[in-house]
Amino acid sequence: MNAIIITIGDELLIGQTIDTNSAWMGQHLNEMGVWVKERIAVSDDANQIIATLNTTIPRADLILLTGGLGPTKDDLTKNVLCEYFGGNLVRNDQVFKHVQEFFTRRGLPMLERNAEQAFVPDNCEVLFNEQGTAPGMLWKIDGKIIASLPGVPFEMKHLMQRFILPLISDLADTSVLHQTIITAGIGESFLAEKIIDWENKLPANCKLAYLPSLGMVKLRLTVRGKKSESLQEVLSTQMEALKTLVAAHLFADSDELPEITLGKLLLQTNSKICLAESCTGGYIASKLVSIAGSSAYFSGGIVCYSYEAKQSLLQVNKSILDNEGAVSESCVKAMCEGVLQKFDAKYAIAVSGIAGPDGGTIDKPVGTVWIAVGTKESIVAKKFIFTKDRWKNIELTYINALMLLKPFIN
Amino acid sequence: MNAIIITIGDELLIGQTIDTNSAWMGQHLNEMGVWVKERIAVSDDANQIIATLNTTIPRADLILLTGGLGPTKDDLTKNVLCEYFGGNLVRNDQVFKHVQEFFTRRGLPMLERNAEQAFVPDNCEVLFNEQGTAPGMLWKIDGKIIASLPGVPFEMKHLMQRFILPLISDLADTSVLHQTIITAGIGESFLAEKIIDWENKLPANCKLAYLPSLGMVKLRLTVRGKKSESLQEVLSTQMEALKTLVAAHLFADSDELPEITLGKLLLQTNSKICLAESCTGGYIASKLVSIAGSSAYFSGGIVCYSYEAKQSLLQVNKSILDNEGAVSESCVKAMCEGVLQKFDAKYAIAVSGIAGPDGGTIDKPVGTVWIAVGTKESIVAKKFIFTKDRWKNIELTYINALMLLKPFIN
């Protein structure tokens, strides 16, 4: 099965928006064994959309369009597709009710142009969009599938996961299984050296992918075969061997966000965490809070972005700040102790560093970060020298702080 | 003049790499009045590259290809193009010397496959690449320009700036101007209603685009015309009219992140801000801190994710929490007052809400958020009812908090 992705919108062509949608779609389709042979970005222009449909439909089994489904004048996709496939727009009651509720909930009047979002071609399957007001549309024509999805990333992902990916899974005669584990604190090439013998002996239907990202390397093992084969067994056996080889660097044995892994551990041990953040300025807290239910294990935190705040809110001794500075082992340890006094929590993380781009010295260059983790009984601190880039330093501090705390939790 | 961008490489199709190159190219071409009518990403496959050249060259004045020029097996672009235009590969001495030096400097041996990078088609203009080993290539055929550039972003940019953009500037007789403004707190369709009369009367060479994202709608106005015309005047006049119409909802009059707009205002007024965050859990703080230099105007914050923390760290009265709850006007006002006592800052934002998915009641459904902003002298609070989605509620709280504070700063 192969696919072509068509993204619609002038903002993509003039470079105002970077197209992350088709990367996400490409990745997920590929994981299911669908080969994306081409991606095309076109303008909000009826003739161009039609010309692109004419040249792509004969060449692929699956055509996925995103964008151009909003309520404004420049959104043409629905009308163009409706006419192209010879349908008429009719009101869909489920969508109409949903759009109405959307506005009622916000206490806003529903305008004519919003109501129009509930009009859909009468010859397509409507992909009900819980996350927004524009439904997706799906046509099955001469063995081809053509689907149109909203361009807003979370709405597109929602409809892909709910409708398109399950449909592909039903159609395929082969199946593909994946498992991803997360390693941290070791570079891609060093990891490769550790597992080279195992990797070379992998059966022909298994494939390992290295997915490096900042501070982490994910390893994705893929097994492909007929639906009838016992692929799960092959995957499990190989995974166990891999996990043993990388045990010292294993952060999680599934592809989940680090803050989810940490949250699960805290829930399992019925314990809570609090934070004292300087250079990350609330970033670690916001990561923890992004997970639903985190109030069960996150007590709170203090963002102490100045010397004064470190002293008054966390009782860091003035002499530490004067003699060793805010980016020092003594300071993060004191911050860690201080924040454990303020919150009802067993564990704490404290971070202080020079995120950059300014503020570095010869002794403490930009990227220098001290991280302390622990409990009232025991605190450890570690120094890192990351990069010259502010954003990367904040992200790396967050990942490494979680990695450092993890063995403490029991 | 119009253009088509062709990006070559499997990594783009399987979503391993997000295509930032064509966004950059689109932006720069557009600024020079070249309309990018299409972007196509294709595989490292000779037949596909040829098929794409066949269908695109007749449809555009300028065809820009990136990628597939490296020294490895999967890099086919040079050979395909050379054959397509009927040329032969010959050694280019300047490039050969450059590649040789490149390896000498790094103390690495030059492999056969590296030396091959100096072989170029004999019928093209060689675009000498100071930043890497793969030169670009340019053909002018029947009034069309076809150029092939490396896929490595900084090499592509280097050749665009040195060769392609100057060439276009020489050829073009038109130019294009853009300005984007940011509105917040009003939906796309309501905004459209407000400006419909103005939009309908726009001159033919002006085009308005709506770029909605969570909590914000950007409006981009584009003016095209001859180089000789005074386009800036047209743009300014229309922009002034637009800004007046949307004044109540205008957050910024350029396309920048909200935390940058706020930071600039605080810097201009030489004032500082502190935060008391409950439902956003440090998210607002982390946004402010993501901007380099924010320590000049951000004092810090308290993430009070429990009743206890609100009482002990922000002195919120127990009776408020008992009688009105943490998601109430009295509570956010008290949090705002409390945090202004803790930090050396003129302004404060305090937020408390039910981010979800759980914790809602009939009176206070998921998505209910109270935001207070102000100074020691004056605090206002406003209630919002956002969505059922945790992430959206956090993001919407952040945008609306900044929007609510903005008029205070002076």
Q: Which two tokens stand for residue A350?
A: 């404290």
Is omega for the bond preceding A166 within 30 degrees of 0, making it cis?
Answer: no
Contact B344/A at CB under 8 A:
yes
Q: How large is the average pLDDT for residues A254-260?
A: 91
Contact B14/A at CB under 8 A:
yes
Q: Are B87 and B139 in contact (CB under 8 A)?
A: no
- Beta-strand pair A174-184/B298-304: unpaired
Q: Which two tokens stand for residue A364?
A: 């403490």
Residue from the list B13, B22, B355 with its beta carbon closest to the beta carbon of A36: B13
Q: What is the pLDDT of residues A110-163, one digit of tens each?
A: 888 888 999 999 999 999 999 999 999 999 999 999 999 999 999 999 999 999
Sign of CA dihedral A394, A397, A401, A403: positive
Cβ-Cβ pairs closer than 8 A, A with B, add up to 272
Give me the percent of chain A exceeding a pLDDT of 70.
Answer: 100
Give me the percent of chain A exceeding a pLDDT of 90.
Answer: 77
**pTM of this prediction exceeds 0.80:** no
- Return d(Cα A68, Cα A150) in angstroms, integer: 7
Q: What is the pLDDT of residue B212?
A: 84
Q: What is the pLDDT of residues B327-354, one digit of tens each?
A: 999 999 999 999 999 999 999 999 999 9
Q: Does pLDDT of A178 surpass 90? A: no
Q: How large is the average pLDDT for residues A312-325?
A: 96
Q: Does pLDDT of A337 surpass 80? A: yes
Contact criterion met (CB < 8 Å) for B18 and A15: no
Residues in A closer than 8 angstroms to B41, CB to CB, are 22, 38-40
- Return d(Cα B191, Cα B210) in angstroms, integer: 9
Judged by CB atoms within 8 Å, which residues 361-380 of B form the interface with A? Answer: 367
Q: Which of B75, B81, B64 is nearest to B11 (CA)?
A: B75
Contact criterion met (CB < 8 Å) for B302 and A302: yes
Contact B36/A at CB under 8 A:
yes
- Return d(Cα A386, Cα A405) in angstroms, integer: 18
Q: Which of B290, B241, B236 is nearest to B262 (CA)?
A: B290
- Return d(Cα B211, Cα A67) in angstroms, integer: 11
Judged by CB atoms within 8 Å, which residues 233-272 of B form the interface with A? Answer: 255
Contact criterion met (CB < 8 Å) for B13 and A113: no
CA distance A21 to chain B (A): 9
Q: What is the pLDDT of residue B180?
A: 93
Torsion, Cα of B189, B190, B191, B192 (10° steps): 50
Sign of CA dihedral A239, A241, A244, A247: negative
Residue from the list B284, B302, B394 with its beta carbon closest to the beta carbon of A290: B394
Q: What is the pLDDT of residues B174-209, one digit of tens each?
A: 778 889 999 998 989 999 999 999 999 999 999 898
Q: What is the pLDDT of residue B334?
A: 98
Q: How many residues does chain A have?
A: 410
What DSSP letter does each residue of B39-102 carry, written as one string?
A: EEEE-S-HHHHHHHHHHHGGG-SEEEEES--SSSTT--HHHHHHHHTT--EEE-HHHHHHHHHH
Contact B210/A at CB under 8 A:
yes
> pLDDT category, A189, cuts 50, 70, 90?
confident
Q: How many CB atoms lie within 10 A of CB A382?
A: 15
Residues in B closer than 8 angstroms to A16, CB to CB, are 23, 27, 180, 211, 220, 255
Q: Are B39 and B22 in contact (CB under 8 A)?
A: yes
Please compute, for residue A255, the number of CA atoms within 13 A of its CA located in the half-sphere on the CB side: 12
Q: Does pLDDT of A270 surpass 90? A: yes
Q: Are B355 and A290 in contact (CB under 8 A)?
A: no
Residue from the list B24, B40, B189 with its beta carbon closest to the beta carbon of A71: B189
- Return d(Cα A61, Cα A35) in angstroms, integer: 10
Phi-psi category of B373—alpha, beta or left, where left has phi over 0 and alpha has psi -120 to 50?
beta
Residue from the list A15, A131, A343 with its beta carbon closest to the beta carbon of B23: A15
Q: Which two tokens stand for residue B322?
A: 């008992």
> pLDDT category, A365, cuts 50, 70, 90?
very high
Q: What is the pLDDT of residue A74?
A: 81
Q: Does pLDDT of B173 surpass 80? A: no
Contact A14/B at CB under 8 A:
yes
Q: Where are the alpha helices (DSSP H) in B151-206?
A: 153-159, 165-171, 188-200
Contact B382/A at CB under 8 A:
no
Sign of CA dihedral B16, B20, B26, B29: negative
Judged by CB atoms within 8 Å, which residues 105-134 of A form the interface with B? Answer: 105-108, 111, 113-114, 131
Contact A311/B at CB under 8 A:
no
Residues paired with B381 in a beta bridge: B372
- Return d(Cα B349, Cα B68) in angstroms, integer: 51
Contact A398/B at CB under 8 A:
no
Q: How large is the average pLDDT for residues A265-270?
A: 97
Q: What is the pLDDT of residue A153?
A: 93
Tracing tokens 């403004």 back to the chain, one arrives at: B181
Q: Does pLDDT of A109 surpass 90? A: no
Q: Are B296 and A298 in contact (CB under 8 A)?
A: no
- The Cα-based distances of A51 to A46, A64, A81, B59 in angstroms read 9, 15, 12, 12
Contact criterion met (CB < 8 Å) for A42 and B43: no
Q: Are A258 and A251 in contact (CB under 8 A)?
A: yes
Contact criterion met (CB < 8 Å) for A282 and B289: yes
Contact B163/A at CB under 8 A:
no
Judged by CB atoms within 8 Å, which residues 67-86 of B form the interface with A? Answer: none
| B358: helix, strand or coil | coil
Contact criterion met (CB < 8 Å) for B37 and A43: yes
Contact criterion met (CB < 8 Å) for B305 and A300: yes
Q: How large is the average pLDDT for residues A166-189?
A: 86
Tracing tokens 């100071």 back to the chain, one arrives at: B130
Q: Does pLDDT of B226 surpass 90? A: no
Q: Which of B285, B348, B293, B355 is nearest to A283 (CA)?
A: B285
> pLDDT category, A207, cuts 50, 70, 90?
confident
Helices (H) and strands (E) in chain A — how many of each? 16, 17
| B2: helix, strand or coil | strand
CA distance A116 to chain B (A): 11
The nearest alpha carbon in chain A to B24 belongs to A15
CA distance B162 to chain A (A): 20
- Return d(Cα B21, Cα A38) in angstroms, integer: 16
Q: What is the pLDDT of residue A176?
A: 81
| B232: helix, strand or coil | helix
Q: Does pLDDT of B154 surpass 90? A: no
- 3-state per-residue secondary structure call for A127-192: ECCCCCCCCEEEEEECCEEEEEECCCHHHHHHHHHHHHHHHHHHHCCEEEEEEEEEEECCCHHHHH
Contact criterion met (CB < 8 Å) for B313 and A306: no
- Return d(Cα A306, Cα A308) in angstroms, integer: 5
Contact criterion met (CB < 8 Å) for A391 and B42: no
Sign of CA dihedral A191, A197, A201, A204: positive
Chain centroid to CA B190: 24
- The radius of gyration of chain A's CA atoms, rounded to the nearest angstrom, is 26
Please compute, for residue B167, the number of CA atoms within 13 A of its CA located in the half-sphere on the CB side: 19
